[in-house]
Amino acid sequence: MRASVASFGLLTYIAASCVLAFVFPQSVLAFLLVEASLLLLCYVPAPLKIKVYLAALVLLVLIPFLGTFNGYYLEVAIQIGIYVALALGLNIVVGFVGLLNLGFVAFYAIGAYLWAIFGSPQANAFIPGGFFPLSANWFFLFLMFSIAAGALTGTLLGLPVLRLRGDYLAIVTLGFAEVVRAVINNLDKPINITNGPKGIAPIAKPPLFFKPWLEFFGLEVAESTLYPLYFYFLVLLLVLLIILVTRRLEDSRLGRAWKAIREDELAAAAMGVPVVRMKLFAFAVGASFASAVGVLFAAKQVFINPESFTFMESIGVLAMVILGGMGSIPGAILGATGVTILNLQLLKGLSLWLNGLRQSGAELTLPLLGSYSLSQLPAQFEPAKYERMVFGLILILMMIFRPQGVLPPRRDQRR
């Protein structure tokens, strides 16, 4: 009885929020309500089957549907997907094994540049013959390559540094990421490989292999609406794959070894866990996720430059993992979604609102303080540019008040 009421309530909520988002296509709040329905899904006492159906309804039908009418929604959804995937990758290293990796963005950059260089005319600069850009069909092959490349660089970085103690490891990974960024930034000479700070464009998009089928069914969709949808589903697929792999890993021999290392490295070593090798695996797996996401990111952005891979990105992903709860898969997803929404929607919304106020030039009259013309608000004050403050606050507050995160891993229940 209770369950059916809950399911019905959920359905009503989802329907209502979608209607709202559809009627007010510019409203940030309406889309937030749609996104919140997924969160609600986790907590409402309804049968698992119904929850899965409802989640599928929201993810596979409603969001793409809303997205075709308002491309911005889809863009937000894609960004969230990318960060969820990154957070899940970092969660393996930070959450499962307890190694603080501050240079996670380096692997993301490596993946992105891998496809960017070969999927654009850029590679012609150092490989003669004019083979490039590679045709879009190579995209999926490069997705595979990137997983290998990520695993390889992860291992290469891990080999020397994993013997270091926790905080030194953090600084060295940070240094590694900065080195990678500096190299990308400067490798436009002597041979032009990365085109330096100018970045690379245009990068090939993934192939529309399904277009004939769509035409077969008589659907004529313009490429400009098709591509965002396509990316949305690609990201969704990638996230689902990563969740699947992570869950399987978590309960495997490897996952248990990781957690043993996190809890007590000495004890784990004494019990015969090959500590360094297990840490290397974690580095490699996390790095390969990030690298694969990087390929997708490059293809989506069409243009990338080293600015997309700064230290701030690493910290942003770290903040997501920590907000959600280290070592918890739902936590990483929630954290990534929350922080991305905060950055992309709430802060931007606030900025727009302030800009509106500034232009309206209204007078704000406060008791005791006198009146203040809103047009005098300094133009530099834009909440959307204060991501660092948000990340910083998240990190400090979480560490002081709730170090285990919002959704900590349920490890006691399983024993």
Partner 1 sequence: MLLDGLVLGFMYALIALGYTMVYGVLEFINFAHSEIFVLGAFVGVEVLFLLQEAGHLAVLHPAFVLSLVIAAGMLISGLAAMALERVAYRPLQGSPRLVALISAIGASFFLQDALRLFESLWRNTFYLNYPSLDVLDQLLPLATNLAVPVKSLMVIVTALLSLAGLHYFVNRTRIGTAIRAVAQDPETASLMGIPVNRVIALTFFVGGAMGGLAGVLFGLHYSLVNPYSGFAPGIKAFTAAVLGGIGNIPGAMLGGMVLGLLEAFAASYLSLLTDGAFGAEYKDVFAFLVLIMILIFRPRGLLGETVREGRA
Euclidean distance between CA atoms 99 and 91, whole angstroms: 10
Q: Are 65 and 93 in contact (CB under 8 A)?
A: no
Q: Is 166 in the site for partner 1 (CB under 8 A)?
A: yes
Q: Are 111 and 150 in contact (CB under 8 A)?
A: yes
In the complex, what is the shortest distance from the CB of residue 124 to partner 1, in angstroms, rounded to a whole number?
21
Q: Which stretch binds partner 1 (CB under 8 A): 48-56, 147-155, 277-285, 315-323?
A: 315-323
Q: Is 140 in the site for partner 1 (CB under 8 A)?
A: no
For partner 1, the closer of residues 64 and 196 by Cβ is 196
In the complex, what is the shortest distance from the CB of residue 409 to partner 1, in angstroms, rounded to a whole number?
16
Q: Is 366 in the site for partner 1 (CB under 8 A)?
A: no
Please identify which residue in 214, 399, 402, 410 interacts with partner 1, judged by CB under 8 A. Answer: 399
Cα angle: 327, vertex 106, 343; to 5 degrees: 65
Cα angle: 96, vertex 250, 111; to 5 degrees: 70
Q: Is 379 in the site for partner 1 (CB under 8 A)?
A: yes
Q: Is 174 in the site for partner 1 (CB under 8 A)?
A: yes
Q: Which residues contact 41 (CB under 8 A, 6 or more apart)?
A: 10, 51, 54, 55, 58
In the complex, what is the shortest distance from the CB of residue 87 to partner 1, in angstroms, rounded to a whole number?
15
Q: Is 311 in the site for partner 1 (CB under 8 A)?
A: yes
Q: Which of these, 410, 101, 162, lies nearest to 286 by C-alpha position?
A: 101
Euclidean distance between CA atoms 347 and 341, whole angstroms: 9
Cis peptide before 133 (omega within 30 of 0): yes
In the complex, what is the shortest distance from the CB of residue 114 to partner 1, in angstroms, rounded to a whole number?
21
Q: Is 59 in the site for partner 1 (CB under 8 A)?
A: no
Q: Is 141 in the site for partner 1 (CB under 8 A)?
A: no
Q: Which stretch binds partner 1 (CB under 8 A): 26-34, 57-65, 346-354, 384-392?
A: 384-392
3-state secondary structure of 99: coil
List of E strands, 1-86: none
Cis peptide before 306 (omega within 30 of 0): no
In the complex, what is the shortest distance from the CB of residue 337 to partner 1, in angstroms, rounded to a whole number?
20
Q: Which of these, 231, 251, 255, lies nearest to 97 by C-alpha position?
A: 255
Euclidean distance between CA atoms 273 and 281, whole angstroms: 13
Q: Is 56 in the site for partner 1 (CB under 8 A)?
A: no
For partner 1, the closer of residues 312 and 364 by Cβ is 312
Euclidean distance between CA atoms 69 and 174, whole angstroms: 41
**Max Cα–Cα distance, the chain, nearest Å:** 75
Q: Which of these, 79, 139, 94, lies nearest to 340 by C-alpha position?
A: 79
Q: Which stretch binds partner 1 (CB under 8 A): 26-34, 68-76, 359-367, 379-387?
A: 379-387
- Tally the C-alpha atoms within 13 A of residue 294's C-alpha that lie toward its C-beta: 35
Please identify which residue in 53, 126, 403, 411 interacts with partner 1, judged by CB under 8 A. Answer: 403
Count of residues that bind partner 1 according to CB under 8 A: 50
Q: Is 65 in the site for partner 1 (CB under 8 A)?
A: no
Q: Is 261 in the site for partner 1 (CB under 8 A)?
A: no
Query: Residues 101 to 130: which contact partner 1 by CB under 8 A?
Result: 102
For partner 1, the closer of residues 100 and 249 by Cβ is 100
Please identify which residue in 36, 38, 57, 183 interacts with partner 1, judged by CB under 8 A. Answer: 183
Residues at the contact surface with partner 1, assessed by CB under 8 A: 98, 100, 102, 160-161, 163-168, 170-172, 174-176, 178-179, 182-183, 185-186, 189-190, 265, 311-312, 315, 318-319, 322, 378-381, 386-389, 391-397, 399-400, 403
